[in-house]
């Protein structure tokens, strides 16, 4: 079972619809038992880092156990940022800390949020991007991740500066952009994710 974690943030139906479009069912659930038993977890999200972590507390151990067991995991947008240690948006709030690093605000002088289509630059090998090159994806965000280990960065996008667009390590994949809102190429990314398990 693919479980989309419903922890009180938006974006749930659109990510489920993305999977349905590629012929894969995904269950939206807030039931800890269902989430614990899932073969694959999806962590979507929009909104503030601190509020999201507050709602995610009930699932934090389950998420870590899932990842540590080597099961596939996909974070999308805020779901990417929550995988990191901390965020400038919510000082003093610890993230899931799956990856060491900080979530920082896009620089002053840029239009914030970064909203709309921007092209990827694939920088490291990652199964998500099999058959995909520097295609355009749909972004909506005001913060971006700065991993301590740059080797986990799978793709970047340029928005005045190079911004981490996706990370990839072992069974954990995450994108700052919305694959489910990025047309056929975005759906191909979801197909590639499904092929990893």
Q: Give the C-alpha distances (Å, rounded to integers) separating 145 from 55, 85, 102, 142, 185.
A: 21, 10, 6, 11, 23
- Among 89, 114, 126, 180, the active-site one is 180
Give me the half-sphere count of Cα atoms (radius 13 Å) on the Cβ side of residue 69. Answer: 15
* DSSP string for 80-96: HHTTEEEETTSTT-B--
Say how far apart CA 153 and CA 146 lie, in whole Å: 9
Please report which residue ranges of the chain form alpha helices under DSSP H. Answer: 12-21, 32-37, 49-56, 60-68, 78-81, 183-195
For residues 41 and 74, the answer to whether their CB atoms sit within 8 Å is: yes
64 part of the active site: no
Say how far apart CA 175 and CA 166 lie, in whole Å: 4
77 part of the active site: yes
- Among 77, 86, 114, 141, the active-site one is 77
Using DSSP bridges, classify how beta strands 114-122 and 153-158 pair: parallel, antiparallel or unpaired.
antiparallel
Identify the residue whose tokens are 């280990």.
149
126 part of the active site: no
Say how far apart CA 194 and CA 50 lie, in whole Å: 30
- Among 54, 66, 178, 184, the active-site one is 178
Q: Return the active site residues.
A: 77, 178, 180
């Amino acid at each position: 079972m693919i479980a989309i974690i419903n922890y009180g943030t938006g974006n749930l139906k659109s990510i489920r619809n993305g999977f349905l479009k590629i012929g894969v069912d995904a269950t939206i659930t807030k039931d800890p038992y269902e989430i614990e038993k899932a073969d694959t977890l999806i962590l979507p999200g929009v909104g503030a880092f601190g509020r999201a972590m507050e709602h995610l507390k009930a699932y934090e151990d389950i998420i870590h156990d899932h990842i540590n067991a080597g099961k596939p995991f996909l974070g999308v947008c805020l779901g990417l940022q929550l995988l990191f240690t901390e965020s400038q948006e919510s000082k003093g709030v610890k993230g899931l800390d799956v990856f060491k690093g900080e979530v920082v605000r896009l620089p002053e002088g840029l239009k914030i949020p970064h909203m709309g289509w921007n092209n990827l630059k694939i920088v490291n090998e990652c199964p998500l991007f099999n058959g995909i090159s520097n295609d355009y994806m749909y972004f909506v965000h005001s913060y971006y991740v700065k991993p301590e280990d740059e080797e986990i960065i799978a793709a970047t996008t340029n928005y005045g500066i190079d911004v981490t667009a996706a990370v990839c390590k072992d069974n954990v994949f995450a994108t700052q952009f919305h694959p489910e809102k990025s047309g056929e190429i975005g759906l191909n990314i979801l197909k590639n994710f499904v092929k990893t398990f």
